[in-house]
Amino acid sequence: MAFDFDLFVIGGGSGGVRAARVAAQGGAKVGLAEEDKYGGTCVQRGCVPKKLMVFASEFPGAIEDAVQYGWTVHSGSFDWPAFRAKLEAELDRLEGVYRNILGNAGVQSFDARAVVADPHTVELSTGERFSAKHILVATGGWPVKPDLPGAEDAITSNEIFHLDSLPKSILIIGGGYIACEFAGILNGLGVEVTQYYRGAQILRGFDEEARGLISEEMIQNGVDLHLGTNIIEMEKVDGGFRVKSTNGDERVFEQVMFATGRAPNTAGLGLEQAGVKLGRNGQVIVDDYSQTSVPSIYAVGDVTDRVNLTPVAIREGMAFVETVFNGNPTPVDHALIPTAIFTQPEMGTVGLSEEEARDQEAVEIYCTSFRPMQTAFVGRPDRVLMKLVVSKATRKVLGCHIVAPGAGEMIQLAGIAVKMGATKEDFDRTVAVHPTMSEEIVTMREPTRSA
């Protein structure tokens, strides 16, 4: 049977665009449909605008420090509309880049919603139907709000970039990296930030020592963080939202933002009717090769709810093309993925936390915390953390955790060593780069403790 396309991709985010481009460059006839803006969560509603907002939010501290370093600085107030206009122009530029990538590779793109009609057919919101030998679902995820009266009027990370004006006060609900990043960003931009998290400590799943330091530093920086606290009810009132919480507080906030999780974008895609198995949260169930329960349908990225990171979606897209179009079955490697959390202070992490590692084997912990030179000079109390988790049996570094300005940049390079299986002695043999914060990673000689 002759198909209209060798591959039809549903979703124009990082994973879908990469798979479409590489398959098309290899000679496949490829179609791609995207109902919203190209670039997906990362470019339009995530990493890129978020990091630019982090940069913007760090200037007040930098200006204060500049005075302590001898500079005469005249700073005005933050002009949100001017920044937002520039941000939106940059996101539009990046969308154009993504469209050009597809066009230049020969991918036929459709600005429409696509659904799966059967294992080899997609149907667009324009009424067009196309047959495809392979279908790749790359529709990503979407923030979810709790089922609570009044929650429909609150915002999520999607809307935060497009507010007409910055609120004077905001309540952020959640304790994951999105909640904590935006708490830091908005605090830096001059918003009065309160954060509620129902758990005992923010950033669940990350190294306990590292997340404890981030929590302390966030509070020190001015975020009103309440742990073990959840929202009971909220209602829209003059001046914002009246919120009642489990700690007995009843306060009015100008804005409320939910950062309480994301769900895979699979509703109404026709997947179950086509025979594709979905998980409890609506995620597409796939094997190591990103293949679904229907052999002609694959899925990559956040819609599979495996490791929800942009570079991982791109890797999954590449592995899919290798497997299906290049005749080289390539499983996705989800081991030892370095990642950064752009809280303030930043965190970089790769490998196992101390808690995970000691559940598996006997380990030694090498850890140091100190005041970095740049901010200690101006009298700031900020602290940083450098930590290695080392196997007693093999001496391999099982985990590296850094809480410090620039931790994301550092962990990228440490990640190479950890991925290669470097031992503690390999780190020790490396000469320190002085004076830097990161030199502490190679100068810790004695273990802090065994676990």
Catalytic, 226? Answer no
**Average pLDDT of adjacent 10-residue blocks, the chain of 451 residues:** 96 98 98 97 96 97 95 91 97 97 98 98 98 98 94 96 96 98 98 98 98 98 98 95 95 98 97 98 98 98 97 98 98 97 98 98 98 96 98 98 98 98 98 98 97 86
In a domain, 349, yes or no: yes
Give the domain CATH number at 425: 3.30.390.30
In a domain, 329, yes or no: no
Which residues are CB-contacts of 249 (< 8 A; sequence separation ≥ 6)?
226, 243
Give the total number of structural domains in the chain. Answer: 3
Q: Are residues 41 and 138 in the same domain?
A: yes
In a domain, 333, yes or no: no
- Most distant CA atoms of the chain, gap in Å: 75
d(CA 36, CA 26): 27
Q: Are residues 38 and 108 in the same domain?
A: yes
The pLDDT score that the predictor gives to residue 42 is 96
In a domain, 30, yes or no: yes
In a domain, 331, yes or no: no
Please state, in angstroms and as integers, the Cα–Cα distance from residue 179 to each residue in 145, 157, 185, 398, following that order: 13, 9, 10, 28
In a domain, 356, yes or no: yes
Q: Are residues 380 and 432 in the same domain?
A: yes
- 169 contacts 183 by C-beta, under 8 angstroms: no
d(CA 39, CA 44): 6
Q: Are residues 21 and 110 in the same domain?
A: yes
In a domain, 350, yes or no: yes
d(CA 44, CA 140): 12
Q: Are residues 55 and 127 in the same domain?
A: yes
Q: Are residues 197 and 285 in the same domain?
A: no
Q: Are residues 18 and 97 in the same domain?
A: yes
**CA–centroid distance for 255 within its chain:** 23
d(CA 121, CA 274): 10
The pLDDT score that the predictor gives to residue 451 is 86
Residue after which a domain boundary falls, among 260, 285, 310: 260
Please state, in angstroms and as integers, the Cα–Cα distance from residue 426 to each residue in 273, 392, 420, 441, following that order: 53, 15, 11, 11
Backbone angles phi, psi at 197, to 5 degrees: -135, 130
Q: Are residues 314 and 356 in the same domain?
A: no
Query: Degrees (nearest 5) of the Cα angle 347, 60, 166?
Result: 90
Q: Are residues 272 and 138 in the same domain?
A: yes
- Among residues 120, 162, 401, 434, the one annotated as catalytic is 434
The pLDDT score that the predictor gives to residue 75 is 77
Q: Are residues 16 and 37 in the same domain?
A: yes
Q: Note the helical H segments in 38-139.
A: 40, 47-57, 59-68, 80-105
Domain hosting residue 37, numbered range: 5-142+263-324
Exposed (0-12), middle (13-18) or buried (19+): which is 319, by Cβ within 10 Å?
buried
Q: Are residues 435 and 397 in the same domain?
A: yes
Give the domain CATH number at 182: 3.50.50.60
- Model pTM score: 0.96
